[in-house]
């Protein structure tokens, strides 16, 4: 019925240079299938073939792109003219470049869920439905969870982060370190602040030295740059504008014991929408196989 499909990337390329950035994109699945626009997490991560595992690649054409400054996207300065609203414009440019004129399913997890929701609010006329998971709303309370409330479970780790921050906001402090020219300062920023959210949820959580290369440094720089700038959003911007997408069909998936992005964000989103379903997965951690399976079965 759906003809040719590919569980690998069947098309990739770069958008024409714009504002000093060349955006990398790739496509997976059925070239004639239902279009899904998927946002990767981070900030600072990249799109991966494994993200295709959330979808039915026999039926769907999944479009992804590396956000500004991320991995295969090219830039002389990775944070120049790099902010949330520009990422949304880039996503629309990808669709235009590929000649997508029909409504699309908009999807993403973690920071990708933030962008998916913001994209739908900016372009509700082209959003067919939303499929979001591991919800991050980028509110003040979400940042307070990371820098304050997570210490209820990891007081030893947060005490070390704050000790090194010397009374300064940790995101601001470590952002200064990660953009320095001193390798030791960069390693400190990656080891403590950039890595903290990755170890949340682990019962053996501890700070460890991590591999440092240009990709890791760039990813950490973008992550801390966005966090230090409060993700370039007004506080609670997504829920303040929820009327724009209130009736759009929305599927929400979240692990109950996600210590990086607590379930309350997903629940707050669900309670703010009129046409939403939520599935709470009996699992811990931020993502994982059970979450992917739960999302995919709906396609």
Res 197 pLDDT > 90: no
Runs of H (alpha helix) within the chain: 84-97, 111-122, 140-147, 155-165, 170-178, 183-189, 196-199, 214-228, 237-240, 263-272, 289-296
CATH for the stretch 6-138+234-296: 3.40.50.1820
| Per-residue confidence (pLDDT) for residue 222, from 0 to 100 | 97
Mean pLDDT taken over the chain:
94
Catalytic hit among 142, 220, 258, 265: 258
Interval 135-184: pLDDT, tens: 999 999 999 999 999 999 999 999 999 999 988 999 999 999 999 999 99
| Per-residue confidence (pLDDT) for residue 5, from 0 to 100 | 60
Res 195 pLDDT > 90: no
| Per-residue confidence (pLDDT) for residue 157, from 0 to 100 | 95
The residues spanned by each domain of the chain are 6-138+234-296, 141-232
Interval 31-89: pLDDT, tens: 999 999 999 999 999 999 999 999 999 999 999 999 999 999 999 999 999 999 999 99
Res 292 pLDDT > 70: yes
Interval 214-242: pLDDT, tens: 999 999 999 999 999 999 999 999 999 99
| Per-residue confidence (pLDDT) for residue 166, from 0 to 100 | 87
| Per-residue confidence (pLDDT) for residue 4, from 0 to 100 | 58
| Per-residue confidence (pLDDT) for residue 257, from 0 to 100 | 96
Catalytic hit among 73, 110, 134, 165: 110
In the residue annotation, 274 being an active-site residue is answered as no
Burial 113-122 (b: 16+ CB within 10 A, else e): bbbbbbbbbb
| Per-residue confidence (pLDDT) for residue 1, from 0 to 100 | 37
- Answer whether the bond into residue 220 is a cis peptide, omega within 30°: no
| Per-residue confidence (pLDDT) for residue 198, from 0 to 100 | 87
- Edge-first strand order for the sheet with 104-110 is 6-14, 24-29, 60-65, 34-39, 104-110, 127-135, 250-257, 276-284
Catalytic hit among 21, 40, 51, 286: 286
In the residue annotation, 258 being an active-site residue is answered as yes
Round to whole Å and give the CA distance between 87 and 32: 26
| Per-residue confidence (pLDDT) for residue 167, from 0 to 100 | 87
| Per-residue confidence (pLDDT) for residue 210, from 0 to 100 | 82
| Per-residue confidence (pLDDT) for residue 242, from 0 to 100 | 98
Q: Are 68 and 94 in contact (CB under 8 A)?
A: no
């Amino acid at each position: 019925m759906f003809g040719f499909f590919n569980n690998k990337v069947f098309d990739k390329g770069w958008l024409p240079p714009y504002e000093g950035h060349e955006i990398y994109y790739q496509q997976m699945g059925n070239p004639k299938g239902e279009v899904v626009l998927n946002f990767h997490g981070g900030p600072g991560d990249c799109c991966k073939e494994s993200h295709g595992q959330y979808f039915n690649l026999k039926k769907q054409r999944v479009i992804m792109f590396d956000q500004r400054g991320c991995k295969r996207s090219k830039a002389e300065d990775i944070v120049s003219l790099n902010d949330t609203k520009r990422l949304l414009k880039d996503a629309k440019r990808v669709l235009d470049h590929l000649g997508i004129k029909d409504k699309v399913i908009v999807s993403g997890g973690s920071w990708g869920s933030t962008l998916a929701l913001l994209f739908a609010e900016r372009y509700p006329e082209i959003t067919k439905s939303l499929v979001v998971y591991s919800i991050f709303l980028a509110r003040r309370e979400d940042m307070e969870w990371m820098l304050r409330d997570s210490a209820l479970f990891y007081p030893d780790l947060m005490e070390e982060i704050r000790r090194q921050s010397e009374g300064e906001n940790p995101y601001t402090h470590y952002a200064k370190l990660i953009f320095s020219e001193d390798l030791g300062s960069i390693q400190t920023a990656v080891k403590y602040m950039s890595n903290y959210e990755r170890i949340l949820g682990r019962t053996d959580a501890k700070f460890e030295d991590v591999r440092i290369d240009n990709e890791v440094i760039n990813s950490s720089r973008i992550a801390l740059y966005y966090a230090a700038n409060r993700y370039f959003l007004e506080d609670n911007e997504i829920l303040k504008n929820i009327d724009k997408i209130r009736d759009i069909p929305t599927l929400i998936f979240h692990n109950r014991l996600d210590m990086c992005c607590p379930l309350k964000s997903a629940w707050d989103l669900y309670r703010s929408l009129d046409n939403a379903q939520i599935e709470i997965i009996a699992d811990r951690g931020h993502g994982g196989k059970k979450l992917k399976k739960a999302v995919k079965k709906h396609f």
